[in-house]
C-alpha cells in the first residue's frame, strides 16, 4: 500500500460524520428512558441502579422473585460507571457519558496500536472508525446498548496491543500491564475474553520457557484476583439460564433477519483468512503462523458453521464473531504490502472508499434512530403509577414498547416488583419456563394455562396493549383499573 494516507481520508470523513451523528442522536437517551423494542440498555440502567442501591451480590427484590446481583452477570462496566452515577445522580446521563469516555479511550488505543506497528496516525484513526462506525458496532454498542460487551472490546484492544508488541520482543516488566487488563476483561464480558485468550495462547506458543512462565504467572494472578466474582458465577451456572440461548442455530439460517448478519460474518471470516494468506506469503515465518493459527482455526470453523456443534462457541453472538474477524482482517490489511501487485492495490484503494459508503447505507436502513416517547409510551406510562402488586407486561413484537424495558423502568422509578425481569440469566430454568408459559398462553388465548400460570406466579396485575385489552375485558377473573386509547391495566379479582 505504500506510505500514502490519501485513500483513507474519504473514509475517515464519511465514517466520522456518521458516527458523530449517531452519538448526537443517541444523546436523546438522557431525556427519554429507553422503552422501544430495539433496546438492551434499559437492563443495563436497572442493574447500575441496583448496584448503587443494594451493592454487589446483594438480593434485589424487584425481579425474578428476588435475585442475587451479579451472580449471573458481569460487574466490570457497572463499577466503571458507578462513580459517574454518584456524581451525576442520573442513570441515563451516566450511561451516555460512560459511552463517550470508552470511545475516547478506544480512540487513543488505536493510535497506540498504529504507533507500535509503524502505521501512520491517519491509518490508526481510520481503523478506529472502521471498527466502531460499521453498522454492527453502531447497532450493538450505540443503539441497542450492549454495554458490557462494548466495554469488553476496550480491554480486548488494549490486550491485543500487548500481545502483538511482545510477540517479537522479550517479555519484561511492562508485561505486568497484562494483569489488570486481563482481570478487567474477566469481570467485563466473556466474548472478548474468549477471543483475546486465543492470542494469549498464541503468545505463549511462540515464547521460550522463561517467558512462558511469566505468561502463566500473569494469567494465574489475573484469575485469582477476580475469583471473588467468577467462583460464585461458575458454581451457580447450573442454576441459571446463562446458556439457554444457542446462537449457533441462527448461523444456519440465511433468510429473514439473519441473512445480512450471517453474510457479514462469513465475509469477514473469509477476508481474514485471505488477508492472512497475503500477509504470510511475504514472510513465511513459523512464528507468525503459530501466532495466528488459533484464530485461523476459529475462522474456518465459523465459516463452515461448525461452531454450532461446539459448546461455549455456539453461545457467542454471531455479531461478536463478525467484529472479531473484522478487527483482525483490517489489522492484517494494514500490515500487508500490496504495492507490488497493481490489481490488488486498486482493489484495496476502491474498498477503502466503497466500504464506508456501504456501512452507512446498511446502518441507515437497518439500525433505527433513537425512539422518543410517543403517544403509546405516554399512555402506557400513565398506567404504571397505578400498579400496586406483582405485575406482568405483555407487548406485541416490534409494534409496541418493549415489555422488559418496563421491568427496568418500574423498578427504578416506582419500586415495583415482578417475577419477570430484564436479564434472563438471573432466572432459573424452571422460572423461565413458567414465565414463558404465562406469556405465550396469554397471546395464544389458552385460557386454562394462562389463568393457572398467572396464579402460580402470584401475579395480581397485567398491563398490555390493543387487542389484548379486549381479551382481558372478556375474562371474568379480571377487572379494569384503567384503559386508554391503546393501553390498559387490569387486576385479578380477589
pLDDT digits (tens, 9 = 90+) for 429-441: 899 999 999 999 9
- Which residues make Cβ contacts (< 8 Å) with residue 310, sequence separation at least 6? 248, 301
Instruction: Please indicate, yes or no, whether residues 138 and 14 belong to a single structural domain of this protein.
Output: yes
* Total number of domains in the chain: 2
Q: Are strands 67-68 and 59-60 parallel, antiparallel or unpaired?
A: antiparallel
C-alpha cell at 40: 438492551
Instruction: Please indicate, yes or no, whether residues 35 and 155 belong to a single structural domain of this protein.
Output: yes
Instruction: Please indicate, yes or no, whether residues 100 and 155 belong to a single structural domain of this protein.
Output: yes
Q: What is the band of 164 on the pLDDT scale with cuts at 50, 70, 90?
A: very high
Instruction: Please indicate, yes or no, whether residues 290 and 204 belong to a single structural domain of this protein.
Output: yes
355 lies in some domain: yes
Q: Which domain holds residue 394?
A: 375-492
* Cβ density class 5-44: b for 16+ within 10 Å, e for less: bebbeebbebbbebbeebbeebebbbeebbbbbbbbbbbb
Long-range Cβ pairs for the range 223-231 (8 Å, 24+) = 223/186, 225/179, 225/183, 226/183, 226/186, 226/187, 229/70, 229/75, 229/186, 229/187, 230/186, 230/187
Instruction: Please indicate, yes or no, whether residues 349 and 387 belong to a single structural domain of this protein.
Output: no
Instruction: Please indicate, yes or no, whether residues 466 and 331 belong to a single structural domain of this protein.
Output: no
pLDDT digits (tens, 9 = 90+) for 451-485: 999 999 999 999 999 999 999 999 999 999 999 99
Task: Quote the pLDDT of residue 290.
Answer: 93
What interhelical angle do 147-167 and 91-117 show, nearest 10? 20
Q: Which of 316, 341, 366 is the last residue of a domain?
A: 366
Task: Quote the pLDDT of residue 45.
Answer: 98
| Structure-model confidence comparison of residues 159 and 281, the more confident one | 159
Instruction: Please indicate, yes or no, whether residues 360 and 414 belong to a single structural domain of this protein.
Output: no
Q: Which of 337, 366, 395 is the last residue of a domain?
A: 366
Minimum mean pLDDT range among 132-146, 235-249, 356-370, 380-394: 235-249
* Cβ density class 446-475: b for 16+ within 10 Å, e for less: eeeebbebbeebebbbbbbbbebbebbeee
Instruction: Please indicate, yes or no, whether residues 423 and 287 belong to a single structural domain of this protein.
Output: no
Residue 484 DSSP one-character state: -
Residue 492's alpha-carbon distances to 202, 386, 480, in angstroms, are 60, 14, 9
216 CB neighbour count, 10 Å cutoff: 11
Residue 258 DSSP one-character state: G
Instruction: Please indicate, yes or no, whether residues 399 and 362 belong to a single structural domain of this protein.
Output: no
The answer on pLDDT for 64 being more than 90 is: yes
Instruction: Please indicate, yes or no, whether residues 359 and 379 belong to a single structural domain of this protein.
Output: no
Task: Quote the pLDDT of residue 398.
Answer: 72
- Which residues make Cβ contacts (< 8 Å) with residue 98, sequence separation at least 6? 77, 80, 81, 84, 147
- DSSP-H helix ranges across 206-317: 209-225, 227-235, 248-251, 259-281, 286-303
C-alpha cell at 48: 447500575
The strands making up 478-483's β-sheet, listed across from edge to edge, are: 391-393, 461-465, 487-492, 478-483
Task: Quote the pLDDT of residue 284.
Answer: 76
The string of DSSP letters for 133-196 reads SSHHHIIIIIII--HHHHHHHHHHHHHHHHHHHHHSS---GGGGGHHHHHHHHHTT-HHHHHHH
Tell me which residue has cell 466473556: 190
Q: Which helix (H) or strand (E) holds 455?
A: helix 447-456
1 lies in some domain: no
Residue 347's alpha-carbon distances to 131, 183, 344, in angstroms, are 20, 41, 5
C-alpha cell at 470: 379486549
Q: Are strands 487-492 and 461-465 parallel, antiparallel or unpaired?
A: antiparallel
Q: Which of 347, 366, 385 is the last residue of a domain?
A: 366
Q: What is the band of 257 on the pLDDT scale with cuts at 50, 70, 90?
A: low
Instruction: Please indicate, yes or no, whether residues 252 and 172 belong to a single structural domain of this protein.
Output: yes
Instruction: Please indicate, yes or no, whether residues 330 and 462 belong to a single structural domain of this protein.
Output: no
107 lies in some domain: yes
Amino acid at each position: 500500500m505504500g506510505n500514502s494516507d490519501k485513500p483513507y481520508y474519504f473514509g475517515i470523513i464519511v465514517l466520522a460524520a456518521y458516527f458523530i451523528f449517531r452519538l448526537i442522536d443517541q444523546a436523546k437517551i438522557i431525556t427519554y428512558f429507553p422503552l422501544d423494542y430495539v433496546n438492551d440498555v434499559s437492563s443495563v440502567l436497572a442493574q447500575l441502579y441496583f448496584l448503587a442501591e443494594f451493592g454487589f451480590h446483594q438480593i434485589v427484590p424487584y425481579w425474578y422473585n428476588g435475585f442475587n446481583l451479579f451472580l449471573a452477570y458481569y460487574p466490570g462496566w457497572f463499577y466503571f460507571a458507578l462513580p459517574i452515577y454518584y456524581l451525576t445522580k442520573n442513570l441515563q446521563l451516566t450511561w451516555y457519558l460512560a459511552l463517550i469516555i470508552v470511545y475516547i479511550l478506544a480512540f487513543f488505543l488505536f493510535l497506540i496500536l498504529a504507533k507500535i506497528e509503524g502505521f501512520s496516525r491517519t491509518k490508526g484513526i481510520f481503523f478506529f472508525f472502521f471498527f466502531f462506525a460499521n453498522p454492527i458496532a453502531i447497532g450493538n454498542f450505540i443503539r441497542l446498548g450492549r454495554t458490557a460487551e462494548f466495554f469488553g472490546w476496550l480491554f480486548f484492544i488494549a490486550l491485543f496491543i500487548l500481545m502483538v508488541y511482545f510477540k517479537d520482543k522479550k517479555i519484561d516488566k511492562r508485561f505486568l500491564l497484562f494483569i489488570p487488563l486481563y482481570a478487567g476483561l474477566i469481570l467485563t464480558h466473556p466474548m472478548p475474553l474468549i477471543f483475546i485468550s486465543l492470542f494469549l495462547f498464541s503468545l505463549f506458543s511462540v515464547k521460550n520457557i522463561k517467558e512462558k512462565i511469566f505468561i502463566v504467572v500473569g494469567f494465574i494472578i489475573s484469575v485469582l484476583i477476580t475469583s471473588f466474582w467468577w467462583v460464585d458465577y461458575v458454581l451457580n451456572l447450573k442454576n441459571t439460564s446463562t446458556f439457554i440461548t444457542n446462537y449457533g442455530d441462527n448461523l444456519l439460517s440465511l433468510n429473514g433477519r439473519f441473512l445480512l448478519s450471517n453474510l457479514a460474518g462469513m465475509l469477514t471470516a473469509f477476508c481474514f483468512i485471505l488477508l492472512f494468506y497475503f500477509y504470510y506469503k511475504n514472510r513465511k515465518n513459523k512464528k507468525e503462523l503459530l501466532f495466528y493459527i488459533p484464530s485461523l482455526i476459529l475462522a474456518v470453523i465459523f465459516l463452515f458453521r461448525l461452531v454450532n456443534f461446539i459448546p461455549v462457541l455456539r453461545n457467542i453472538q454471531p455479531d461478536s464473531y463478525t467484529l472479531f474477524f473484522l478487527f483482525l482482517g483490517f489489522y492484517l490489511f494494514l500490515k500487508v504490502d500490496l504495492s507490488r501487485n497493481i490489481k490488488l492495490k486498486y482493489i484495496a484503494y476502491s474498498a477503502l472508499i466503497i466500504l464506508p459508503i456501504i456501512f452507512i447505507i446498511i446502518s441507515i436502513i437497518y439500525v433505527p434512530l433513537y425512539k422518543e416517547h410517543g403517544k403509546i409510551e405516554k399512555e402506557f406510562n400513565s398506567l404504571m403509577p397505578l400498579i400496586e402488586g406483582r405485575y406482568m407486561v405483555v407487548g406485541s413484537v416490534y409494534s409496541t414498547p418493549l415489555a422488559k424495558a418496563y421491568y427496568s423502568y418500574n423498578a427504578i422509578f416506582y419500586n415495583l416488583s415482578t417475577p419477570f425481569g430484564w436479564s434472563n440469566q438471573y432466572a432459573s430454568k424452571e422460572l423461565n419456563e413458567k414465565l414463558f408459559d404465562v406469556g405465550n398462553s396469554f397471546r395464544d388465548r389458552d385460557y386454562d394455562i394462562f389463568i393457572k400460570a398467572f396464579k402460580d406466579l402470584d401475579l395480581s396485575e397485567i398491563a398490555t396493549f390493543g387487542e389484548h385489552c379486549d381479551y382481558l375485558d372478556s375474562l371474568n377473573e379480571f377487572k379494569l383499573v384503567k384503559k386508554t386509547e391503546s393501553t390498559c391495566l387490569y387486576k385479578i379479582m380477589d
